[in-house]
Amino acid sequence: MKTRYVKRHVRAFWLFVAPCLLLFSTFFLIPLGLSVGFSFTNYDGWKVMNFIGLANYKELFADTKFYQSLGRTFAYTLFSLPFKVIIPLLIASLVTSKRVKIKALARTLTYIPSLLSALVVGITINWMFSAEYGLVNYVIQVLGGTPLQWALNPKLATFVISFASNWASTGFYMVIFIGGLNNIPQEMYEAAAIDGSTTMQTFLRITIPMLAPTTFLVTLLSTVNLLKEYALVQGITQGGPGLNTTFIIQFIFDKGFNQMQYGYASAISLVVMVVFAFIAFVQFKFSNGGDR
Amino acid sequence: MSKPLLRVSRKWVPSTVTLLVSLAILFPIVWLVLSSFKETGELFSYPLAMLPSRFTFVHYRKVIGEGFFGYVFNSLFLAVVGTAITLVISAMCGYALAIYRHEVSYTNLVFGIFLLGTLIPGETLTVPQVTVISELGLYNNIWGVILPVVTTTTGIFMFRQHYLSIPLSFVEAARIDGSNEAQTFLYVMLPLGTSSTVTLAIFSFMWRWNDYILPLLVLSDQKKYTIQIAIKNYIGFNGVDWSSILAASVMSIIPIIILFIILQRYIVGGLSASGVKG
Amino acid sequence: MKKVSTILLMVLLLSSMVFAAGTKEAASTGPQVLKVMLSEEPSSEDALLNTMKQWAAETGNILDVMVIPYEDQLTKFPLMARNNDLPDLLTTTRLSRLYPDEFLDMTEYFDMSIFEKMAVEIIVQDYKSSKKPILPQQFTITNVYYNKDAFARAGLTAPTVEKPWTFEELEKNAILLKEKGGVKYGMAMDASRARYDNLMYAHGGSMVEKDGASFNVTINSPQNIATLQKFIDWNNKFMPKAIWAGGTTDNPADYFKNGDVGIYFSGSWNYNSFYNQIKNFKWGVMPSPVGKSASAILGGSGLGVPAKAKNKDVAISFLKWFYTKENFQQYLNRDKGLSSLVGVTYSPSDAQVAEDYKVLQSEVGKVTYAFSVDESSMWRNYYDNEYRDAMKQAVNGDLTAAKALNDFAALLSKKSGWGLKY
């Protein structure tokens, strides 16, 4: 009786999971398998496909440009990550604060940039930061400053991409933080108020620790998304000046897909995938999965 | 300083700060919208003015004349159908992963496989993905753009967390009443998921609305193009048609903003219910 | 809450049914359809599109234009081919070079002698077989535009065909334009290899040289390194550096159109759009400067019919119509460019256009032998992107001119198997 019951549930489990698993396997796991296969060939995306063993991997590990772009990706991620987490947290605190009146309006306005496609975000940011006709440089000029070389200074170019990326994701992470903030028991704040704790003390001693799991989730999501940054780079700097904003995904496209070296591109993708998975795993272990 | 005044400032200062911050965040879009009404020559002529010297609808008329509404229609179809499928299959999957966690020992393994999906830079799998799509005969078929992306780990995750928060006794009660597993899901558990449902609906709609590379590679009939492709087509090899691109961009964000404003009050509830607990 | 989700689902399902019904295609009867692939949304003054529209109107056939962005065509074209979904006609600069097998051999339909020999050689780019996968459509040449108003303000007169500037004069005048011409940049150049290569050829350099049946890589010759160094200096002094250093998606054609550039190195394909779009200042075409030799690069796009296209015959009938003297003349009048058809020339009615056109034509004589050798090596099939990356890094100051070119030469030599001269 008991085993039949369980068996029926196992079958039900598989039936419920089936649509997702089937589609996921077809359009994700099979392509992943193909990609692994391609990485051992000199596939040109169409006609040529010969087995060449580990040649792609050997070439990759000897390629200094690969290490450089990986290094740039890490530097970019580390630079942007604090903003990705702190700005949405501060805004979420503002729009959940009892002392703020226009919460709903502020949330809506803040969220709107998150609705835009990478293409439109790129267009909008170019429109603001273009060194020639951009609004930002114009305002700097009107205020008597020298226009900044947004496209020429590697640091500024990286900043523009980071700005764009932050701008387009703040709303999303803010919403996640609002969810976390709403789940902090109100009594804790009341107790703190009775103890005469200042706003800043309450924020540091109650809000921040209680939010740890949410903060972990936001950190993990933003790390992965920063490492994968591509569409914005393509729309704003195209990897320049020089190669200073050529991050790893851009590198894969420039080296591989755009030069019809699909085999090589597949090999890079797989190595990068392993690196990303490792980083996510380390973050997960380090923070205990966000559990206190 | 008298006391009432202090109280006023205690409310007004944070409110003003919040308003200013959110307006600053919105500002680039305002600038985009205002620019789209400027005449082409004015876009690049210094001094830049906030408002167009004369509002012109020429660029909008041009973009619409080039078939923009057709692309909107295609994007709408893609987003609506894709979202419907995503909601149904994610709910089923998330439900199974949560409800059978004690009876099926490998639920976490299955969940782990889906989590793999978030780690991989999706763009790099595009080419083999399109290979699979064409092998299945879905090339130049709207379903070839819909089916590959309807499975989202986020969706499965959100529903799983939601159902985890529901006591298993609910399920047991339904079973005792004699409903089979499918009935339990449909009648008891599905309606409970509404807040997650609306949240995921908005996300999914937004993702599909904003897709670019897969529609571009899979669709090859201009009549089937989506708005993002249409926008990109104004970036030419020998120059960018800025006026058209601004107008097209503005039109592309209107539907999604309207949808968001209608449904936004569910979003926060949905995300907090998705188990991101403080 | 329950109601909301039910309504939502109902709406979703209903709308999906309606949409699905709407996507059924009507069976085609009567007029035939010509599916054409272009690389960007054509402007209203686009010469080819307007000529195709004229054809459709005259013959009662239907024109079905699809746009695939230039940069995405490389990924998309093989997919279309594998799915038997190629358009009936396409205009391209490189697809036929990369995938000649996918195109019909035009020699079976056309007597190639009706085309200018040079146009066929340059545009069709077929060095390995006698097959001609495309026919020359837009025959272009690199050329130099200048802002007449800025020249007047700086007290400059444009050089003439008989007496072109030297590169020293170019440099001096570009600085003068920036100082006194009221322009932001004395000079600008498209971020295209071909534009820079003109400098290289004019200074006596080349990418490769012939070595029996093979080639030797000469891209890192001392004179090439000196040329690149000079170019880097120019970028620092009076050019919009970001264009060549990368870091922007801007196109310098837009800078010129906005009156911010004094001298603009581009090509004849921009003439028509400048003619239609520039209203705020006067501009013209000047002969390119001369160094050790003069240099210009021919190029252009061709029209090809994929071998597996559904309506090949419609495409061929369009081409037969297009390449009649009368219709091609009309196309050329719209395009205002060089002719690729023997016996058809563009004779502008507008005096200004006629003057510019004369300068354009004089550029054709400047095409160098070194350029033809480089093209025949088909080096671009190897490492085009890497060359661009090396230039970007050098202009941005991340690499010295010597290091950029030496590294690229080593890479090209390794990939192609050619020897290194330097």
| A175-210 pLDDT, tens digit each | 889 888 888 888 888 888 888 888 888 888 888 888
Distances A199 to A155, A196, A207, B208, C243 between C-alpha atoms, Å: 36, 9, 10, 42, 50
Q: CB distance C246–A133 less than 8 Å?
A: no
In which band, very low, low, confident or very high, does the pLDDT at C23 lie, cut at 50, 70 and 90? very low
A214 neighbourhood in chain B, CB within 8 Å = 276-278
The pLDDT score that the predictor gives to residue C22 is 41
For chain A, report the end-to-end CA distance as a whole number of angstroms. 40
Architecture of domain C33-139+299-361: 3-Layer(aba) Sandwich (3.40)
Alpha helices (H) in A203-261, listed in sequence order: 208-210, 212-227, 231-236, 248-255
CA-based nearest residue to B66, from C48, C42, C56, C68: C42
Instruction: Note the helical H segments in A112-185.
Output: 118-129, 135-142, 154-182
pLDDT band at residue C12 under the 50/70/90 scheme: very low
CB–CB of A120 and B249 under 8 A?
Answer: yes
Distance CA B150, CA B88 (A): 10
Quick one: pLDDT at residue C26? 42
What is the reported pLDDT for B1? 42
| Cβ-based neighbours of A14, under 8 Å, separated by 6 or more | none
Token pair in block for residue C247: 């870091």
Which is nearest to B69 in space by CA: B212, B248, B204? B248
Residue spans per domain, chain C: 33-139+299-361, 141-298+365-420
Question: How far apart are alpha carbons C277 and B39 in whole angstroms?
Answer: 13
In terms of Cβ atoms closer than 10 Å to its own Cβ (0-12, 13-18, 19+), residue B194 is: buried
Cβ neighbours of A261 in C, within 8 Å: none
Under an 8 A CB cutoff, do A35 and B125 touch?
yes
Report the largest interatomic distance among the alpha carbons of chain A, rounded to a whole angstrom.
Answer: 84
Would you say C134 and C303 are in contact if contact means Cβ atoms under 8 Å apart?
A: yes
SS3 content of chain B, % helix, strand, coil (to 5): 75, 0, 25
In a domain, A46, yes or no: no
Overall domain count for chain A = 1
Task: Say whether B134 and C79 touch across the interface (CB within 8 A).
Answer: yes
Same domain, B52 and B79: no
User: What pLDDT is attached to residue A223?
Assistant: 92
Residues 6 or more apart whose Cβ sits within 8 Å of residue B194:
B266, C1, C2, C4, C5
Per-residue exposure over C252-262, b if at least 16 CB sit within 10 Å of its own CB, e if not: bbbbbbbbbbb
User: Which pLDDT score, from 0 to 100, does residue B184 have?
Assistant: 86
Please check the confidence at residue A1 and state whether its pLDDT lies above 70: no
Distances, alpha carbon B72 to alpha carbons B48, B77, B140, C8, C140, in Å? 32, 9, 18, 20, 37
Please tell me which residue of chain C has the smallest CA distance to B198: C5
- Two tokens, residue B216: 């571009």
Q: Using CA atoms, how far apart are residues C268 and C342, in angstroms rounded to an integer? A: 19
Give chain B's residues under pLDDT 70. 1-10, 192-193, 237-238, 267-278
B269 shares a domain with B176? yes
User: Which residues on adjacent β-strands are paired with residue C66?
Assistant: C37
Which range has the worst mean pLDDT, A83-87, A168-172, A251-255, C194-198? Answer: A251-255
ipTM tops 0.90: no
- Counted across chains A and B, CB pairs separated by less than 8 A come out at 272
Both tokens assigned to B31:
């600038």
Chains near B, with 3+ CB pairs < 8 A? A, C
Examine domains C33-139+299-361 and C141-298+365-420 and report if their fold is the same.
yes
**Residue A241: which of C240, C246, C383 has the nearest Cβ?**
C246
Question: Domain C141-298+365-420 classified CATH 3.40.190.10?
Answer: yes
C242 to A241: CB separation less than 8 angstroms, yes or no: yes
Residue B113 sits in the same domain as residue B180: yes
Q: How far is CA C103 from CA C90, C96, C135, C320, C377, in A?
A: 10, 7, 11, 17, 22
Q: Average pLDDT for residues A119-133, to the nearest whole number? A: 89
| C19 pLDDT higher than 50 | no
| C342/C117 Cα distance (integer angstroms) | 9
Provide CB contacts within 8 A for A210, sequence distance 6+: A180, A184, A188, B278
Whether B194 maps to a domain, the answer reads yes
Burial class from Cβ neighbours inside 10 Å (0-12, 13-18, 19+) for residue C237 reads middle
Question: Could you say which of B28, B56, B84 is where a domain stops?
Answer: B56
Q: Choose the closest CB to C83 out of B84, B140, B193.
A: B140
Same domain? B52 vs B68? no
C245 touches chain A (CB under 8 A): yes
How many residues are listed for chain B in this entry?
Answer: 278
Q: Which chain C residues touch B241 with a CB distance below 8 Å?
A: 41, 43
Cβ of C247 within 8 Å of Cβ of A258? The answer is no
Is residue A69 in some structural domain?
A: yes
Q: What is the CATH number of the domain that holds A179?
A: 1.10.3720.10
Quote the minimal CA–CA distance from A112 to chain B in Å.
Answer: 7
Percent share of chain B, pLDDT over 90:
36
State percent of chain C over pLDDT 70.
92
Q: Domain check: are B161 and B265 in the same one?
A: yes
Q: Is pLDDT at C17 greater than 90 in this prediction?
A: no
Give C49's contacts in chain B (Cβ within 8 Å).
Answer: none
Confidence (pLDDT) at B5: 52
> Nearest-CA distance from C418 to chain B in Å?
32
Total domains in the fold of chain B: 2
A51 located within any domain = no
What Rg value do the Cα atoms of chain C yield, rounded? 24
- Whether chain C has a CB inside 8 Å of the CB on A258: the answer is yes
B173, B227: one domain:
yes
Tens of pLDDT, residues C285-333: 999 999 999 999 988 899 999 999 999 999 999 999 999 999 999 999 9
| C142/A87 Cα distance (integer angstroms) | 50
Neighbours of chain A (3+ CB pairs under 8 A): B, C
Q: What is the mean pLDDT of chain C?
A: 88
Has residue C1 got a pLDDT over 80?
no
- Which amino acid makes up residue A193? A
Q: Is residue B2 part of a domain?
A: no
User: What tens digit of pLDDT does each residue of B138-183 get?
Assistant: 998 999 999 999 999 888 988 888 888 788 888 888 888 888 888 8
Residue B201 maps to a domain: yes
Residues B46 and B177 in one domain: no
Output DSSP code: residue B48.
P
Give the CATH number, domain containing residue B110.
1.10.3720.10
How many residues belong to chain C? 422
Q: Which amino acid is at A178?
A: I
Q: Is the pLDDT reported for residue C365 higher than 90?
A: no
Q: Is C250 on the interface with A (CB under 8 A)?
A: yes
Residue where a domain stops, chosen among B56, B83, B102:
B56
Residue A240 in contact with partner chain C when CB distance is under 8 A = yes
Contact B74, B255 (CB under 8 A): no
Distance from C-alpha of C158 to C-alpha of B81, rounded to nearest angstrom: 61
Range with the poorest average pLDDT among A130-144, C150-164, C389-403: A130-144
Who's near A13: CB < 8 A, 6+ residues apart? Answer: B96, B100, B103, B104, B107
CA nearest C260 in A: which residue? Answer: A132
Tell me which residue range forms the domain holding A265: 63-290
Cβ of residue C211 closer than 8 Å to a chain A Cβ? no
Take residue A52 and report the two structure tokens written for it. 């060449």
> pLDDT value at position C72?
82
- Residues contacting residue B77 through CB under 8 Å, at least 6 positions apart: B142, C15, C16, C19, C23
Is the peptide bond preceding residue B255 cis, with omega within 30 degrees of 0?
Answer: no
Asked if B144 contacts B133 with a C-beta cutoff of 8 angstroms, the reply is: yes
Contact with chain C for residue A49, Cβ under 8 A: no
Alpha-carbon distance C76 to nearest alpha carbon in chain B (angstroms): 6
Residues from C contacting B (CB-CB < 8 Å) are 1-2, 4-5, 8-9, 12-13, 15-16, 19, 23, 39-41, 43, 64-70, 72, 75-76, 79-80, 82-83, 85, 249, 251, 253-254, 257-258, 269-270, 273, 279-280
State the residue range of the domain holding B181. Answer: 64-273
Same domain, B46 and B180: no
What are the backbone angles phi and psi of residue C38, rounded to the nearest 5°?
A: -120, 170
Cβ atoms C80, C95 nearer than 8 A? no
Instruction: Evaluate if residue C14 carries a pLDDT over 60.
Output: no
Residues B131 and B93 in one domain: yes
Residue in B22, B26, B27, B88 to test binding to A, most A beta-carbons within 10 Å: B22
**Is-contact A150 A143, C-beta < 8 A?**
no
Query: Between β-strands C33-38 and C89-92, what pairing exists: parallel, antiparallel or unpaired?
Result: parallel
Q: Which residue has the tokens 């936001």?
A: A218
Residue A228 Cα, gap to closest chain B Cα (Å): 6
> In which band, very low, low, confident or very high, does the pLDDT at C29 lie, cut at 50, 70 and 90?
low
Any residues with CB less than 8 A from the CB of A156 and at least 6 apart, and which?
A: A148, A149, A150
Whether A249 sits inside 8 A of B277 (CB atoms) is: no
Structure tokens at A93: 């605190």
